[in-house]
Chain A
Amino acid sequence: MILKRGTIVSRQDILWTCIWVGGLIVLGIWDGLFLNSPAFVMVQTAFRNTVLACTFVLLLSLLFGWASGIALHFLETNNRPLYLLTTFALNVLRSVPQIIGTLIGYVILTFFLGRGILNSQTSQLAWMSLVIALVVFQEVTDLVRERIAHYSKLEFFHAMLSCGIKEHRIINREILWKNSRAHLLNKLVSIFATAIFLQCSIDFIVSVGLSTDVSLSNFPVTLGSLLAKLDSKQDILAIGTILKDITSIRSLFFEHLQGISTACIIVFSLFCLYKISQGLARHYRL
């Protein structure tokens, strides 16, 4: 085996986090050297906005997922009709494909913008994050419920109840915080990747085909909307030319940097997040 225990190489999650950050820094330096400064600023802003929005999605998903998971657990034992009703509503929400849910959120956002509500870019990003969180948070709910169900069968759970420790304390502290952090972390990494994918896709779609009444300049720049700009699309189209003329590959790294960098950040981030998630699963044997 070439992977020695105790080294950074054996911790694939840490290794790939370093590769991700390192790769983005290298790309940033390259862009700083060869990309024109207005475009470079735009790429930086888009990246910052995307990361900010996706972090917000992460926090909201954790909050909603944790709260709904625990609420469902207590409802199941204390109020069966309400439990069935809530589960039914959540299942209906689950049956709406994520992109449709996000698209509906955007339609509502344009409605708000048309009436002068949510005018600041931060509030728009927050709204987008809330919408994405609403379509992905059930993954956390499922995980929370699965962990509670698993530990509820074990003796320590009943022993602690017999000792007079309150159930919500056992669930929140002993089960979820002490014994499920790795699972939650792994789930949050995959939610972060899903959020990047959904946000970029919806912004790309919206920038390409929606919103004639509300000027696109109102929306905060994200990686998806930057990729949808004409310059970026032409840069991506240039990749196709290397299939006909391999010598044109050089131009991709110097002349078509805006689109290539944006696409690279998206694909590279998704790949690294996948590897981080796999590394976590392997390390903690999830």
Chain B
Amino acid sequence: MKSRLLEHALSIVLVTLFFSVLIIFMRGKEADIQADRTAAIAPYLELDFIDFGNPLHRAQFAEALDVFYPDRRAGNDSLIQSIESFRQEQFTSEEYKTGGEKRGLSSGKALQLIGMFAQFCLVYLIVMVLSHRASTGLAIIRFVNMRAARPSALAQIILHARGSRPRGSSWYLTLLFLLLKSFGVFLGYAVLFAPAYVIAYSIRSGFDTDSYLFMVILGVISNGLLITRASRFSAFLTAESRKGYVQTSIVKNLDASYQWGKGIPYKAVVEPTKVLSSHVFRHIYRNARHQYLPSLKEHASFLITGLIIIEMALNIQGHLGYELLQNILYRQYDVAVAIIVGIFLIVKATDMVIDAWVLREAARYENK
């Protein structure tokens, strides 16, 4: 455990150090760029007979530049563009407004980022717990259905279509029910595999998609996160169920009935450990979970990716992902780097918690 913690701590220190140096370098660079830019246009701004707010003066200035420097027309255009941008900034830049902030990573900005960071952590924690529980539940449903040899929705339709003759009204009603069920399953899969922004845009006209609740729901169900995690855990359950000790346990009379409500209670979806110890599933679950836990690190990383995509793609203002995008857009790279360091720290903290959890479980597993 100590070596794992040491590795995490070392990576946190090194990466933070590297990015801190990068931030300092970028802040210096930003000041240099500003100074260079102002120096390049300053002589022209000092010409008191030109009013750059007057379109006629601007056009004459552009023509004069082309006459004096005919071989660098692109450079002339970009000079005019720079003057225009500089003038616009005098009215639009936050820096010049009362109570406005300086560009880059100021103390005010840092405080603002800490608030956003706390919000992000909270949403991340909620989504992490919910998606873990939901994917475990879904995996259990799939595993139990598979063991009970329950046919899929599509297979049920084929079986029904091949079924009894003559076909009365009840046959058609069952077929309709199965078709609706298949459509529901298809729709469910479409939602589970759809990227978050597709779902959000498709229901944006009817719902407030900027709320925290919506973000949490979207974080749990979209981007294929839930279904891939469920599939992963289901694979662990299946692999475990093929092991020799399971067959031996069944021969030694442990319950192996996979009927919902009889062998496996419905509450097992939410609380799998509540299954009777005389049922083989309980042991399969515990051993599969032990192997599944380390993969939660990948889950965490992918979950953060999903949350950032949601915040960026939906332009949810005041959130960390949106702030990161805006700062990249306005080339305030020091702020962007600070946000990236924050996100890196979340991933590392999650890794450390999961490592500690895995080691604790391993100690129990090995009867230490």
Mark A residues whose CB is within 8 Å of B.
1-3, 88, 91-92, 94-100, 103-104, 107, 193, 197-198, 200-201, 204-205, 208-212, 227, 233, 236-237, 239-241, 243-244, 263, 266-267, 270-271, 274, 278, 281
Contacts and interface: CB of A to CB of B under 8 A. Distances in A.
A236 B309 contact: no
B305 A208 contact: no
A108 B174 CA distance: 58
A165 to B, nearest CB: 31
Nearest to B207: A240
A267 B312 contact: no
B308 interface: yes
Contacts of A91: 7, 11
A97 B325 contact: no
Given A92-B11, A103-B324, A210-B329, 19 more contacts: A2-B151, A95-B15, A95-B351, A96-B340, A96-B344, A97-B302, A100-B340, A103-B328, A198-B305, A205-B325, A209-B312, A209-B325, A240-B205, A266-B195, A267-B193, A267-B194, A271-B190, A274-B193, A274-B228
25 contacts: A2-B155, A2-B159, A88-B7, A88-B11, A92-B11, A92-B14, A97-B304, A98-B305, A99-B305, A100-B305, A100-B343, A107-B328, A197-B195, A197-B223, A208-B315, A209-B315, A209-B326, A227-B198, A233-B201, A237-B205, A243-B206, A244-B206, A267-B195, A270-B193, A278-B231
Given A103-B328, A240-B206, A271 B189 contact: yes
Contact of B343 (A97, A107, A243, A263): A97
Contact of B308 (A95, A100, A274): A100
Interface residues of B, number: 49
B203 A243 contact: yes
Closest 5 CB pairs of A and B: A239-B202, A240-B205, A99-B305, A236-B201, A97-B304
A205 B193 CA distance: 18
Which residue, B201, B325, B329, B347, has most C-beta atoms of chain A within 10 A? B201
Q: Is the interface of A mostly helix, strand, loop or mixed?
A: helix
B182 interface: no
A3 B348 CA distance: 46
A225 to B, nearest CB: 12
A94 B312 CA distance: 21
A210 B304 CA distance: 20
B301 interface: yes
Q: Is the interface of B mostly helix, strand, loop or mixed?
A: helix
Contacts of B10: 88
Contacts, number: 122
Contacts of B313: 201, 204-205, 208
Contacts of A197: 195, 223-224
A240 B202 contact: yes
A235 B309 CA distance: 21
B227 A274 contact: yes
Given A99-B309, A263-B194, A274 B325 contact: no
B197 interface: yes
B328 A92 contact: no
A97 B297 CA distance: 11
B235 A97 contact: no
B198 A267 contact: yes
A266 B189 CA distance: 13
Interface string B301-319: 1101100110011010000
Contacts of A94: 301
A271 B348 contact: no
Contacts of B348: 95
A97 B312 contact: no
B195 A281 contact: no
